[in-house]
Chain A
């Protein structure tokens, strides 16, 4: 969108507050530890892991680290649920994170726009009539995102789902005697399978998706620093989170109008 007169490009906004940054950091550390101490069990034939865990003692330490990290992860999940439920900011963020139909359309639009196939076809004079009637399918412009784009939402919900699944299955693997008091062995086997494959899914998603969006994406390369300082500039907000930028603009415009109304009760301030 056009530049708002109320928002300077170098104005700094807080995208992640301190609590959120710490939550992210703890999540990152525990996730990495869990992956590092968990994957060797999945890929037990892999030489690197044999080298990493060379002895029985190392293997036992591996287990201890895995469970400590799991407790850390559970802690950060509980903390995050707390801030989400009990702070105004948390509730507002959560509202913004809810998946909507727009997210699916955004994904399609962005992909279609990036691919540019339909524009290419139209340029060649193919399906002219169809594109005239349904200009959406031309994907002329990339979609505009709010505070959280579909990529970020997908990651958030992937982490939420993943944590839930991993914590539940992991708990029963930890307390195997309890698990087998409650469930037959074949159910417990399902826990084990889920724990392993969900871990692979999470690990690969993070490696591919999250690393691309916050590191290797040319827009932020070598790294987006938001996770460290929590700051985002007016310019970045305008280009990356346009709808949020617009919302701030409208809010400020309304506030300005209100203020001038108060100053000028006759309502002819702007002429």
Chain B
């Protein structure tokens, strides 16, 4: 059937039309290529392409895949081979158009950081098979799927551990594998725990800096709140949450205290919010003079806490003493002026009473974070006056003692010079 020139131009469309009609008429008998035709070559483990790679297709794996289960034939995806009669066919095939069935995900990808038109996208971009595989595509629920929560870190990590720079290094991403989220998936099979796509989105993934990213400061509360519903509610009612809703950019969101990928249980000694370490997290803002001035908060909260027995003991690893959260709460921290606040003077007896049995009103008659500050009531400053008196006393007494000793040694030195 090979003829050059006019014959081909005129007759080929006619031939194709005739074939199509014939196929439609007696499809089973005349089907050009069945899966068996493909497999006559692709089931041979020895057969290799020009570049030495095998053409073998594992039929069992394919049969278990989503597409195999759905009964899709080779040509449903490899539509480019339809009608090809020459075998072996060309090595370079037409790209599989996933969009012909999966229209929505493909259009999402296009606008994501992985798509050509998405904000911030650059460099070589992944195609569908990079995340989903080729013949072995399985639903995410299947533990063998590349997109199963248990395998997702590895799938994303193929690019994001080294090839893709994120400004914080591969270690930043690797930390996820130590997190409570991944351990929940891996050790307990809790596939509802957060994996890469739970927070970053799947096809619509965006760069963190893009405001519409699920993990941007604007959206992270809602993103974590997908699972941590009660915590989101507590947070939004807290002093932090109220400011967050006002759009104040310095207010801490989930990740500021819990970190991003390295999230651990608060009970884990390595957690940033562990009893002995949480003070440092709070101190990033509450012991920062610039932030304190800007938002009219009291500064030196860490210093004043460390100076107290609670803070000092914590520094030595004593865990029974109060840390920030013991008195202030954590997600539901409220301003002291709020009647619902655990540190509202009216509630202090109850708050302190958690540890100090029988705590009464006297616990509120003073300053817990005791600092020398004009804003503090006069009598609450008395301990600082005593401190100053002691410093003067110590200086005077010790210098007197040292002077006496110096004079004594001086006399002896003079005497020795004179007599000896």
Given A56-B318, A208-B398, A208-B401: A194 and B386 within 8 A (CB)? Answer: yes
The answer to whether A59 touches B317, judged by C-beta atoms less than 8 angstroms apart, is yes
Report the minimal beta-carbon distance from B315 to chain A, rounded to whole angstroms.
Answer: 5
A: number of interface residues (CB 8 Å): 46
Q: What sequence of 0s and 1s flags, for each residue 161-201 of chain A, a beta carbon within 8 Å of any chain B beta carbon?
A: 00000000000010011001111111111101110011011
Query: What residues of chain A lie closer than 8 Å to B337, measured between beta carbons?
Result: none
The answer to whether B318 touches A60, judged by C-beta atoms less than 8 angstroms apart, is yes
| Residue on A nearest B364 in the bound complex, by CB | A185
Name A's interface SS: helix
The answer to whether B366 touches A186, judged by C-beta atoms less than 8 angstroms apart, is yes
The answer to whether B411 touches A212, judged by C-beta atoms less than 8 angstroms apart, is no
Whether A55 sits at the interface, judged by CB under 8 Å, is: yes
The answer to whether B405 touches A212, judged by C-beta atoms less than 8 angstroms apart, is yes
Contact of A181 among B318, B358, B365, B412 (CB under 8 A): B358
Whether B59 sits at the interface, judged by CB under 8 Å, is: no
The answer to whether A188 touches B366, judged by C-beta atoms less than 8 angstroms apart, is yes
The answer to whether A186 touches B380, judged by C-beta atoms less than 8 angstroms apart, is yes
The answer to whether A200 touches B360, judged by C-beta atoms less than 8 angstroms apart, is no
Whether A53 sits at the interface, judged by CB under 8 Å, is: yes
Given A56-B316, A186-B380, A204-B398: A180 and B362 within 8 A (CB)? Answer: yes
Complex-state Cα separation, A28 to B4, whole angstroms:
116
Report the minimal beta-carbon distance from A176 to chain B, rounded to whole angstroms.
Answer: 7
Of the stretches A112-120, A228-236, A254-262, the one at the interface is A112-120
Whether B356 sits at the interface, judged by CB under 8 Å, is: yes
B: number of interface residues (CB 8 Å): 46
Query: What residues of chain B lie closer than 8 Å to A227, measured between beta carbons?
Result: none
Given A115-B410, A193-B386, A205-B398: A185 and B365 within 8 A (CB)? Answer: yes
Query: What residues of chain B lie closer than 8 Å to A41, measured between beta carbons?
Result: 309, 312-313
The answer to whether A44 touches B306, judged by C-beta atoms less than 8 angstroms apart, is yes
- Which residues of A in the span 208-227 have a Cβ within 8 Å of any Cβ on B? 208-209, 212, 217-218
Given A59-B316, A192-B309, A208-B401: A177 and B356 within 8 A (CB)? Answer: yes
Contact of A192 among B356, B365, B383, B394 (CB under 8 A): B383
| 8 pairs, A vs B, C-beta closer than 8 Å | A56-B319, A59-B316, A110-B408, A177-B359, A186-B367, A194-B390, A201-B394, A212-B405
Show the binding face of A for B, using Cβ within 8 Å.
Answer: 40-41, 44, 50, 53, 55-56, 58-60, 62, 107, 110-111, 113-116, 173, 176-177, 180-190, 192-194, 197-198, 200-201, 204-205, 208-209, 212, 217-218
**Sample of 9 further A-B pairs with CB below 8 A, known A200-B394, A201-B390:** A56-B316, A115-B411, A181-B362, A185-B365, A185-B366, A186-B367, A189-B367, A193-B383, A208-B401
